[in-house]
Chains A and B, each alone.
Chain A
Amino acid sequence: MVDPTLSKKWLYWILFLLLATALFFLQLIPLQTTPSNWAMPDLVVCICFAWVLRRPDYMPVLLIAVVMLMADMLFLRPPGLLTALVVVASEFLRARVNVMRELPFMLEWALVTGVLVALLLGYRLALFIVMQPRPSLWLSLTLLLTTTAAYPLVVAFSRYVLGVRKTAPGEVDALGHRI
């Protein structure tokens, strides 16, 4: 079945995998082995949220789970916890795609910030419940701040370079189906 929309989706799935691998690679390069007191933004989560709100079909939930689980494993986080939270958050955003389509970017940014705060709280709460040591609060807050600040840049990059943009209401794909 050679379906142009499907092959385009495939293209974006592979693109996301490549982007995530490149970001993991950049983070793993041992350039700085002294402790730093601020955290780089979590760009993979940014891309997830930006794409889910623009083209939910480019960001299937299984792909998010696989990539985030890989990140959990590589970066020595408790495996599965942040993945589960990001999957739930992406489903929350996915359910609001139709509403968000009409709204200005500022509101979208505010919503994503709210989701990121909820992620942080949920993550710390879960670690508290199972009596695991929580990561330093200061670092988590800088991570939240840099990730929030990076979100518009990721959106601009996705929109103008990768061509992931919101669909207009009633827009149809190549075969005439509603997107």
Chain B
Amino acid sequence: MARDRNTHTHYIRPIRRILVGLLVFVLLALFLLWRIDSPRVERFRAALVDRFVPSFEWALVPVTAGAGMVDDFRSYQKIYEQNQELRRELQRLKSWKEAAVQLEQQNAKLLALNSVRLDPKLTSVSGVVLADSGSPFRQSVLLNVGSRDGVKDGWATMDGLGLVGRISGVGKNTARVILLTDSNSRIPVTIQPSGQRALLVGDNSARPPIEFLEKPELVRPGDRVVTSGDGGVFPSGLLVGRVAKDSDRRLRVQLAADYERLNFLRVLRSRKVEIISDPGALLIGERPAPVTDAPVEEGSDG
């Protein structure tokens, strides 16, 4: 090759140009394929990441842990203030604990009285965060659990306290979690005391805004935000965070999960949502042919 360069320049250059053009064409075709048939290419991407990233696990986990230690060490410098703060917090939490114990007993009694069956299928798989998205444009993390552990797309992911995100993209050994802060994240939520439904819309900022709220005047800063379970993707009642008012008077959510240090995450196994599709045979009898659909619906109203 090195020998040929000078002697055969005349026809090597045009051939090279054609080959480079072909390469660019193939790359753009890949981009268009992704645009047209996104799931297929995204599956390929998940498989590629699944192959590539775990091969660095031996280095990723210790380096992350080491950096965490350096951070922790730095926080020792403020140990006295932290100690004071923790004492105050402990004092406050003791009163809460008392209240919680009482409520728990009361709740147990009431549940027993009603013989309510709580959802038994809500179990979880825990995973370690392997890597983040690697770019400031996307907010996601990669967990070291995947289809091998039964993880499926769409499942909710939590840290110890609050919702972190949703599984999107599962490889054999890894699964990607789209965080609530990602600009593609949309989560239906309920705002607690007023019970209003809204959508939590990620916008690449630390505190995602609440949108599609019917009556914003009923919502106050400090209200609890939990998932509503609308759309059947998420279980309802998972803690998301608290409402906070922004400087531009937009309602945002202060997330409950500790986004500074995402380390171990729990992936909740969601049950299949049973969809009630038939109008109820007891009320209107056998469903007739679809041509006479409209009168039957009318009848069921009355």
Contacts and interface: CB of A to CB of B under 8 A. Distances in A.
A146 to B, nearest CB: 11
Of the four ranges (under 10, 10 to 19, 20 to 34, 35 or more), the interface on chain B belongs to 35 or more
Interface stretch (B41-49, B94-102, B237-245): B41-49
Contact of A74 (B2, B129, B134, B179): B134
Most interface-central of A3, A69, A79, A177 (chain B CB within 10 A): A79
Contacts of B35: 78, 130, 132
A24 interface: yes
A84 B136 contact: no
A76 B3 CA distance: 41
A55 to B, nearest CB: 13
B135 A83 contact: no
Interface in B230-269: 259-262
B204 interface: yes
A176 B67 CA distance: 50
Nearest to B68: A31
Interface string B174-192: 0000010101100000000
A87 B131 contact: no
- Give chain A's interface secondary structure class: loop
Interface residues of A, number: 50
B56 A28 contact: yes
Contacts of B45: 73, 76, 79
B133 interface: yes
A104 interface: no
B62 to A, nearest CB: 10
Contact of B20 (A5, A61, A139): A61
Nearest to B29: A80
A107 interface: no
A25 B28 CA distance: 26
- Give 10 nearest A-B pairs by CB, closest first: A80-B30, A84-B27, A28-B131, A80-B31, A27-B134, A30-B132, A80-B27, A75-B135, A135-B137, A81-B31
